[in-house]
Amino acid sequence: MSKDFFYADPANISGQFLTIEGDESKHIVRVLRKSEGELLWVVDGVDRAYEVVIRSIQQHTVECEILSVHERFNETEIEVTLAVAVLKNPSRMEWLIEKGTELGIRRFIPVSTSRTVAHSPKENRLKKIAHSAMKQSGRSYLPQIYPITSMDSVMHHASVFDLKIIPYEHTDEALFIAEALRHRQKPTSALIVVGPEGGFTEDEIHAAEEAGFVQVSLGKRRLRTETAALVAASWVIGNY
């Protein structure tokens, strides 16, 4: 049987012990019917996984003793941030958060661009989706989901990333992403910026060029924003 992962708030982890509470503890006790002495895998959402043994089951909590700690458990070596034009259809954004979390993306930044129809994604719902995708995929890091950020601000903060990638379909010069990534010194962080349904404006592409972004092609077909985002992220993650 595949491993189940449970979540413990880092505030409830101290020394050799941790406490699982809320729905998580209900699930362990009432649904899975775990008992004292059984082993569990627990992640804390901030890069650590623990193998623990259940020591005591209370009405609303499960108290565990830590047997081993694993740093950056199942996390990618490269830290990928995905800045993606806000999607009109909220369910597509939810899909992207779920799949992107499974892939290993560490940060999602919804971006307002010149051709984005601005509206706010439901942050709490997106966080919940990231949370279950983290556990489901066995990650130890809960990806951060930022509030909507302007394209200008994304460009302004881009300099901290080793590798900056902008998939762009309206250029013959852009290399296919696999080519563009080849022979590059191994980056430790990457920022990928993906445009909206209406595409980037020339000004935005120009600004990205100035900020040191590499334009890449994802092939001859025009992909939807969320598809382009996942494809680009998987090339980057797979390559490093």
Question: Which residues contribute to the site for ligand SAH (CB under 6 A)?
Answer: 167-169, 194-195, 197-200, 217-219, 221-223, 225, 228
Among residues 5 and 168, whose Cβ is nearest to ligand SAH?
168
* ∠ CA 139-144-146, rounded to 5°: 160
H or E stretch including 39?
strand 39-43
Q: In the numeric block, which tokens belong to residue 122? A: 């439901």
Q: Which of 20, 48, 4, 11 is nearest to 142 (CA)?
A: 48
CB of 96 to ligand SAH, least distance (A): 12
Among residues 87 and 145, whose Cβ is nearest to ligand SAH?
87
Among residues 43 and 218, whose Cβ is nearest to ligand SAH?
218
CB of 14 to ligand SAH, least distance (A): 45
CB of 168 to ligand SAH, least distance (A): 5
CB of 71 to ligand SAH, least distance (A): 34
What b/e sequence results for 185-219 when a residue is b if at least 16 CB atoms lie within 10 Å of its CB, and e otherwise?
eebeebbbbbbbeebbeeebbebbeebebbbbbbe
Among residues 162 and 169, whose Cβ is nearest to ligand SAH?
169
Q: CB neighbours of 89 closer than 8 A, spacing ≥ 6?
A: none
Residue of minimal CB distance from ligand SAH? 195
Among residues 30 and 221, whose Cβ is nearest to ligand SAH?
221
CB of 90 to ligand SAH, least distance (A): 17
* ∠ CA 115-118-119, rounded to 5°: 155
